[in-house]
């Protein structure tokens, strides 16, 4: 293994020393203002999950301006043949279009006096989308594709966040006419360069709906109250001790939304909540899903026993499921990125996360999810921020990894 690592590192050093590759690296630094402008412009186009069309159209135009054959597929993904022969085999460089929060107007995306980009989506996943454009522009400007065995497919995909359920990546990997030709995925998600996601964190998501007849808070007191029952179920589930004491797979439970009722002096007719369950262990996810069902049933029993009037009932509906998967640490794509990191003096570690890479990893297709460079924080909150300082290091990392993969595409068993 040490000999292989040495060969890979030597190959990266030789690749990085090629004139055209050096010019690419210089392009990232020279054109940082262009990259920053594209980054801010795309973030000012709202792209909440299921409503990514305007941003997709904008990305399509950008790729065509760079000379790429670009289109929007049936799922809503932007597909661009960025580099190499159009017939494949392909290495796919992807980043998701959608954001958890969206700007209400262009002024919500702004630059602070210290150079930080501020506003929803500037880090997750403005950084990744800007990385797609920057790498595509640099490759088309500087590198000849003559000695490459693969082609670069650039994808800005839909449906990664929230209840999108990885719909864009599912379509690309399972239904698209390109699916069988894609030999590996490099997923850009956020900014950080200190991680390499090679294990897909599985998750299941549910909507709990509890219903009753409702009524007046005084005259109908004693009627089963859906809000009371729902809160009791949430309390029961969240009191369950996760990750406590003994070593084992990490798991989480999160109630992300809750709503119901019409007024303070009305007994609600309904209450709803959405819960996200994640674990490094498929068996643990199944256990927690069963625990959710049991908690809801117990809360209904308690509420109906206390009620002197009409009763409440409940439904649990699964609204999303992300498959898990893991790539062997000796896999070619991991050897290559570790060699790139050694060359660039990047100290990175393998991790487990839920990203678009879940789909290819669950199918046995080589895939990693990495950051696109720069610094960021506050993802999924109104205080999200991104600073472009150090972005060029992340872009050089992506460039070298892609060229290694394009020279020697992975074989899929």
Q: What are residue 205's DSSP bridge partners?
A: 276, 320
Task: Summarize the confidence of residues 133-148 as an average pLDDT.
Answer: 83
Categorize the per-residue pLDDT at 6 as very low, low, confident or very high, splitting at 50, 70 and 90. low
- 352 touches 252 (CB < 8 A): no
**Is the same domain home to 274 and 401?**
no
| Position 323 confidence tier, pLDDT thresholds 50, 70, 90 | very high
Instruction: Report the SS3 class of residue 159.
Output: coil
> What is the model's pTM?
0.91
pLDDT band per the 50, 70, 90 thresholds, residue 149: confident
Total domains in the chain come to 2
Indicate if 159 and 55 belong to the same structural domain: yes
Domain extent at residue 236: 202-321
The residue ranking higher by pLDDT, 120 or 329, is 120
Q: Give the pLDDT of residue 405.
A: 95
The Cα–Cα gap between 376 and 399 comes to: 21
Least confident of 274-278, 308-312, 341-345, 391-395: 308-312
Quick: pLDDT tens for 330-369: 999 999 999 999 999 999 999 999 999 999 999 999 999 9
Instruction: Please indicate, yes or no, whether residues 329 and 303 belong to a single structural domain of this protein.
Output: no
Q: Are residues 79 and 216 in the same domain?
A: no
- Across residues 35-59, what is the average pLDDT? 98
Q: Examine the fold and report which residue of 286, 321, 356 is the final residue of a domain before the chain moves on.
A: 321
Query: pLDDT band at residue 241, thresholds of 50, 70 and 90?
Result: confident
pLDDT band at 413 (very low <50, low <70, confident <90, very high): low
Please say if the pLDDT value at position 5 is more than 60. no
In this structure, are residues 188 and 134 in contact, taking their beta carbons and an 8 Å threshold? no
Looking at residue 34, what is its pLDDT?
98
Distance in angstroms (rounded) separating the CA atoms of residues 399 and 413: 26
pLDDT of 354 reads 95
Q: Average pLDDT for residues 59-67, to the nearest whole number? A: 97
Which position has the token pair 């206390």? 306
Statement to judge: residues 241 and 292 lie in one domain: yes
For residue 135, the 8-state DSSP code is: H
| Mean pLDDT across 385-410 | 95
Domain edge (last residue) among 321, 337, 364: 321
Q: Compute the residue count for the chain.
A: 413
Of the residues 321, 347, 373, the one at which a domain ends:
321
389 and 293: one domain?
A: no
Instruction: Inform me whether the pLDDT recorded for 2 exceeds 60.
Output: no
> Quick one: pLDDT at residue 88?
81
- For residue 34, the domain's CATH number is 3.40.630.10
Residue 285 vs residues 251, 281, 359: alpha-carbon distances, Å: 8, 7, 17
DSSP 123: T
Can you give the pLDDT at residue 141?
Answer: 86
Rounded alpha-carbon distances, angstroms, from residue 346 to 76, 278, 317, 337: 35, 29, 44, 10
Average pLDDT over residues 231-243: 90
In terms of domains, do 73 and 196 share one?
yes
Tell me, yes or no, whether 130 lies in a domain. yes
């Amino acid at each position: 293994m040490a000999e292989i690592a040495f060969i890979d590192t030597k190959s990266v050093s030789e690749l990085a020393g090629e004139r055209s590759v050096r010019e690419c690296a210089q392009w990232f630094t020279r054109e940082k203002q262009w990259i920053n402008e594209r980054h801010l412009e795309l973030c000012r186009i709202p792209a909440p999950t299921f409503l990514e069309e305007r941003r997709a159209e904008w990305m399509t135009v950008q790729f065509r301006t760079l000379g790429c054959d670009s289109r929007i597929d049936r799922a809503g993904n932007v597909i661009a043949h960025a580099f190499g022969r159009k017939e494949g085999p392909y290495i796919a460089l992807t980043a998701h279009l959608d954001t958890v929060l969206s700007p209400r107007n262009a002024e919500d995306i702004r630059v602070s006096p210290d150079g930080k980009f501020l506003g929803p989506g500037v880090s997750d996943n403005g950084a990744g989308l800007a990385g797609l454009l920057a790498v595509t522009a640099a490759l088309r400007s500087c590198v000849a594709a003559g000695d490459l065995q693969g082609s670069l497919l650039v994808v800005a995909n839909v449906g990664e966040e929230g209840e999108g359920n990885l719909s864009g990546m599912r379509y690309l990997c399972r239904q698209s006419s390109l699916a069988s030709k894609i030999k590996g995925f490099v997923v850009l998600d956020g900014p950080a360069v200190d991680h390499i996601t090679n294990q897909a964190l599985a998750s299941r998501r549910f909507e709990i709906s509890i219903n009753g007849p409702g009524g007046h808070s005084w005259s109908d007191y004693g009627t089963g109250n859906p809000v009371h029952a729902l809160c009791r179920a949430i309390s029961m589930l969240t009191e369950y001790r996760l990750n406590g004491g003994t070593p084992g797979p990490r798991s989480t439970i999160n109630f992300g939304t809750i709503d119901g009722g019409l007024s303070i002096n009305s007994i609600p007719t309904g209450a709803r909540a959405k819960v996200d369950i994640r674990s490094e262990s498929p068996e643990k996810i199944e256990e927690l899903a069963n625990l959710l069902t049991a908690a809801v049933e117990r809360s209904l029993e308690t509420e109906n026993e206390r009620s002197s009037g009409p009763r409440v009932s409940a439904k649990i509906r699964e609204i999303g499921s992300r498959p898990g998967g893991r790539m062997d640490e000796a896999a070619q794509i991991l050897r290559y990125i570790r060699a790139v990191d050694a060359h660039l003096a990047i100290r990175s570690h393998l991790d487990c996360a839920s990203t678009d890479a879940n789909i290819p990893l669950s199918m046995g297709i080589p895939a990693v999810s990495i950051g696109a460079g720069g610094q960021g924080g506050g993802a999924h909150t109104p205080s999200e921020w991104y600073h472009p300082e150090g972005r060029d290091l992340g872009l050089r990392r992506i460039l070298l990894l892609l060229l290694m993969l394009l020279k020697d595409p992975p074989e899929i068993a």
